[in-house]
Amino acid sequence: MTTPPPEVLSEKKRRSPMTAATFWERTARMSSGCLVWMGTRHPSGYGMARFQKKNWKAHRLAWTLANGPIPNGLWVLHHCDNPPCVNPEHLFLGTHTDNMRDAAKKKRLPQFTGKCVRGARHGRAKLGENDVRRIRDAFASGKTLVELGEVYGVDRRAIDFIVKRITWRHVQ
Q: How many domains does the chain have?
A: 2
Is 92 or 120 the better-scoring residue by pLDDT?
92
Same domain, 90 and 151: no
Residue at which a domain ends, from 55, 76, 105: 105
Nearest to 36 by CA among 110, 45, 12: 45
Write the pLDDT tens digit of every residue in 66-87: 999 999 999 999 999 899 999 9
What number of other Cβ atoms are within 10 A of residue 37's Cβ? 25
Q: Which range of residues forms the domain containing residue 129?
A: 119-163
Q: Is the pLDDT of residue 128 over 70?
A: yes
Q: Residue 58 and residue 37: Cα distance in Å, rounded? A: 7
What per-residue confidence (pLDDT) applies to 18? 87
Same domain, 26 and 73: yes
Question: The CATH number of the domain where 100 resides is what?
Answer: 3.90.75
The pTM score is: 0.58
Same domain, 28 and 75: yes
- pLDDT classification of 107: cutoffs 50, 70, 90: confident
